[in-house]
Structure 1
Amino acid sequence: MKALVLAGGAGTRLRPITHTFAKQLVPVANKPVLFYALEAIAAAGITEAGIVVGDTAGEIRRAVGDGSRFGLRVTYLPQDRPRGLAHAVLVARDFLGDDDFVMYLGDVLVGAGITELVDAFRRQRPDAMLLLARVDDPGAFGVAELDGDTGRVTGLEEKPLLPKSDQAIAGVYAFSAGIHQAVRSLVPSGRGELEITEAVQWLIDRGRDVGSLPVRGFWKDTGNISDILEANRLALESVEPRTDGAVDTESRIVGRVRIAPGAKVCRSRIVGPAVIGPHASVVDAYVGPYTSLAEHTSVTGSGIEYSIMLSGASLDGVHRVEASLIGHDAEVTPAPRVPAAHRLFLGDHSKVQICS
């Protein structure tokens, strides 16, 4: 069995971060989201993975390398532009051959991994098997209808206006080689893309066996900033406390906090779960729960919680920052005080309201 990992999307919902950074490499608990996928694939016993890449191919290659650090052999599969999930299967046709494969979206976080899905697929031998998650807003996802007795998938809809169930496709699929015929039969949807939901529906319409498995533990599609922060919270729930950096006697560490080598904490309070990256600096500061500080970040005379700071970012003299994603080498400082006066240049008959 092989794995096909999709890492070619533009990440428009995460701009401006993704103007200069691949969305699959945004860190959650100080680890790129893509790495969670690769680790899950290796843990399921798969050793060969193809990664579909686009404009950020160079960044993905530098981060992942040949895959050996994950116990994988990685092949990179260029895609000229995102044209739908089913198009990625077309791009990977030669790599996949006639092998079974798992398709894993590179910006999806599955806390319990995919071993159960892979094992169930190997044991039951359906034509396809989908990982499903119950959601509150199914209209934002591909949605599956299920046979209540067998759990088999009887129908699929892509982002329906009137969803027939609350079972969203969680971004992980297992396929036999039969999916290739289904993909070749597709024409672009109204969105101009080749939809994998239509390919799976093609299998269903022809009486093929399409199974499902519910997500165990947490699951998150990290497509926007609020989802990234929530994924960070969920991932930090399992952090183990450990201090490898320097913490002075005037500081207090409360709860599950991991402090990496080279980090220093002086006259500060850190309340976990939180992670402090290598060579980060926390001085005269407060770091609250569900916060990840990447390598070489700096928090001085400031407070931050439920946030992510990427490498090299700094926070200096800012009273409180919450629910924020601060990009690489960004600097956050107090605004200068403004004089307690107003200067106006108003046209005739103007009406102005001023708080004073």
Structure 2
Amino acid sequence: MGIYLFKSSIFNAIDNIEPSWRGELEITDAIQELLNTKQKVDSHIVKGWWKDTGKPEDVLDANHLILDVLQSHCGGQVEEGAKISGRVSIGKGTVIKKGSHIKGPVIIGEDCVIDTYIGPYTSIGDNTRIIGGEIESSIVVGDTLIECNERIVESLIGNHSQIRSMDNLLPHGRRFVIGENSMVRL
């Protein structure tokens, strides 16, 4: 296993390789293409502990590890009547609305609007609006709208996604792994 860091030239290499016998584009083939086109490829031995994040559960585990060392910070606005407990980092321009409860460790990016319960081990990217429902132990990449009466747990939610309620049913636990530009109606 390895950890890979690439410059944008990797995309040209990927465009020039064919899928393997498994029908997948292989990272090792892309690296070989970089070498074939005389691009700089370097390696380093990583000492100590690291985590492979090949599955959604692994990404959520890595999020837990990162949030375990989070320092509290407030660059946004917490309205009177909102409750913040534990280690919570709130980005610039973010508004935590009255009645919300944020229970850390939680990190919330810039220019977000939060009007709900955000539970431990949740990371929320910039420009996200979460209105109603609950979310816990999840990653919301950013530029996302979540407006529902559902409980979202252990989920990965990609850029430009929308999750909206279709009716006023009682909340149920939901788990999502959705990519960019997705829309879910519950």
Q: Which amino acid aligns with 1:53?
A: I
Q: Which amino acid aligns with 1:85?
A: T
Which residue of structure 1 lines up, in the alignment, with residue 43 of structure 2?
102
- Report the alpha carbon displacement of residue 289 of structure 1 after superposing the two structures with TM: 0.5
- Report the alpha carbon displacement of residue 335 of structure 1 after superposing the two structures with TM: 3.2
- Report the alpha carbon displacement of residue 5 of structure 1 after superposing the two structures with TM: 4.3
- Report the alpha carbon displacement of residue 273 of structure 1 after superposing the two structures with TM: 0.8
Structure 2: any 5+ residue segments left out of the alignment? 18-24, 170-186
- Please say if residues 34 and 40 of structure 2, whose CA atoms lie closer than 8 Å, have aligned partners that are also in contact: no
Give distance in 1, aligned partners of 2:26 and 2:160. 33
Aligned residues: 157
Q: Does 1:245 align with 2:186?
A: no
Q: What pairs with 1:10-25 in structure 2 (closer than 5 Å)?
A: none
Alpha-carbon spacing, 1:317–1:337, altered in 2? closer, same or farther (3 Å): closer
Q: What pairs with 1:307-318 in structure 2 (closer than 5 Å)?
A: 307-318=138-149
Q: Does 1:272 align with 2:104?
A: yes
Give distance in 2, aligned partners of 1:301 and 1:317. 6
- Please say if residues 149 and 168 of structure 2, whose CA atoms lie closer than 8 Å, have aligned partners that are also in contact: no
3-state SS of the aligned residue for 1:304? strand
Q: Which amino acid aligns with 1:102?
A: S
Using the size of structure 1 for normalisation, the TM-score is 0.40
Q: Does 1:301 align with 2:116?
A: no
Q: Does 1:85 align with 2:42?
A: no
- Please say if residues 318 and 332 of structure 1, whose CA atoms lie closer than 8 Å, have aligned partners that are also in contact: no
Partner of residue 53 from structure 1, selected from 1, 4, 10 = 10
Alpha-carbon spacing, 1:259–1:6, altered in 2? closer, same or farther (3 Å): closer
Give distance in 1, aligned partners of 2:145 and 2:33. 43
- Report the alpha carbon displacement of residue 84 of structure 1 after superposing the two structures with TM: 5.0
- Structure whose CA Rg is larger: 1
Using the size of structure 2 for normalisation, the TM-score is 0.72
Listed one character per residue, the Cα deviations across residues 24-77 of structure 1 (whole Å, up to 9, x for unaligned) are xxxxxxxxxxxxxxxxxxxxxxxxxx66513xx6xxxxxxxxxxxxxxxxxxxx
Alpha-carbon spacing, 1:51–1:270, altered in 2? closer, same or farther (3 Å): same
3-state SS of the aligned residue for 1:262? coil
Higher RCO (CA 8 Å, separation ≥ 6 residues): 1
| Structure 1 runs (4+) greater than 6 angstroms displaced | none
- Please say if residues 6 and 53 of structure 1, whose CA atoms lie closer than 8 Å, have aligned partners that are also in contact: no
Give distance in 2, aligned partners of 1:241 and 1:248. 17
Give distance in 1, aligned partners of 2:110 and 2:80. 20
Which residue of structure 2 lines up, in the alignment, with residue 124 of structure 1?
none
- Report the alpha carbon displacement of residue 333 of structure 1 after superposing the two structures with TM: 2.0
Which residue of structure 2 lines up, in the alignment, with residue 282 of structure 1?
114
Partner of residue 159 from structure 2, selected from 328, 333, 337 = 328
Which residue of structure 1 lines up, in the alignment, with residue 61 of structure 2?
230
Q: Cα RMSD between the aligned structures?
A: 2.6
Alpha-carbon spacing, 1:290–1:92, altered in 2? closer, same or farther (3 Å): same
Partner of residue 262 from structure 1, selected from 93, 98, 106 = 93
Give distance in 1, aligned partners of 2:60 and 2:146. 18
Give distance in 2, aligned partners of 1:86 and 1:310. 28
- Report the alpha carbon displacement of residue 247 of structure 1 after superposing the two structures with TM: 0.2
- Report the alpha carbon displacement of residue 296 of structure 1 after superposing the two structures with TM: 1.1
3-state SS of the aligned residue for 2:43? strand
Which residue of structure 1 lines up, in the alignment, with residue 173 of structure 2?
none
3-state SS of the aligned residue for 1:230? helix
